[in-house]
Homo-oligomer: A and B are copies of this chain.
Amino acid sequence: PLQKIAKLTNPEIARYGRQLILPGFGIHAQMDLRNCSMLVVGAGGLGSPCALYLGGSGVGRLGIVDHDTVDISNLHRQVIHNEARQGMSKAQSAALSVRLLNPHCEVIVHDLVLESSNAQPIIDAYDIVIDATDNVATRYLLNDACVLGGKPLVSGSALRLDGQLTIYNYRDGPCYRCLFPTPPPSETVTNCSDGGVLGVEQDPPTMTLFSANSSTMFRTIKLRKRKSDCIMCGDAPTITKLIDYVRFCGSSATDK
């Protein structure tokens, strides 16, 4: 686990000074960031700004999971990569950019596909998990591993001009399965990977919606609490270890 420190170094104070004087943020929030490890799953459209801003702002340890390689067709919105890095692992490329921005952030590259067989120890090693992936099977996998590991899951998704942002498994709020006990029929899942959203989330449990082509671009929705009969996070859970998520979600789950 990340070794906690008791005070910032002088170079850190110089770097984060503008945040330190922010009312409602300050030294305590900066120390919380510095002593926190976060795992960003996916270094694509959502993972790009996510990793850049988290790394820049002073997260102590940042894990980046992605098995894909940088392709020219990614660069129109995956701004953490660049043209010279075509063919490089996206996790590697994202880590390079974060290290150039902030050498104080310890970046860990997970150049792999997250699966039932390997997810739990990786999730367990971080304090907070951020789902920036684009398929249903990984969403259920991350949800279950986060419930089993007791980690909050920040889940972002985007499609075309719409975006959604939710925190699951946090402060008596729901897990992903409380909201969506069964996966959608495979024919309803489109993984277009185009669009974008980033935001902040709060108590009580809410979902934030973004839509660039409606008159009310943003709305915040009050969500249910944790469901006592949820098979994952409820009072008597029936799932106690990771399952086969590709089978659970049907054939479309890992399509892109």
Contact = CB atoms under 8 A, between A and B. Distances in A.
Interface of A: 11, 14-19, 21-24, 49, 52-53, 56-58, 72-73, 75-79, 81-84, 97, 100-103, 160-161, 192-194, 196, 199-200, 202, 206, 208, 210, 212-213, 215-220
B215 A75 contact: no
30 contacts: A11-B72, A15-B73, A15-B76, A18-B73, A18-B193, A18-B194, A19-B76, A21-B194, A22-B194, A24-B161, A24-B213, A52-B79, A53-B79, A56-B75, A56-B77, A56-B78, A56-B79, A57-B76, A57-B77, A58-B76, A75-B101, A83-B100, A83-B102, A84-B100, A202-B217, A206-B215, A208-B217, A210-B218, A215-B220, A217-B220
Nearest to A218: B218
> How many copies of this chain?
2
A218 B165 CA distance: 13
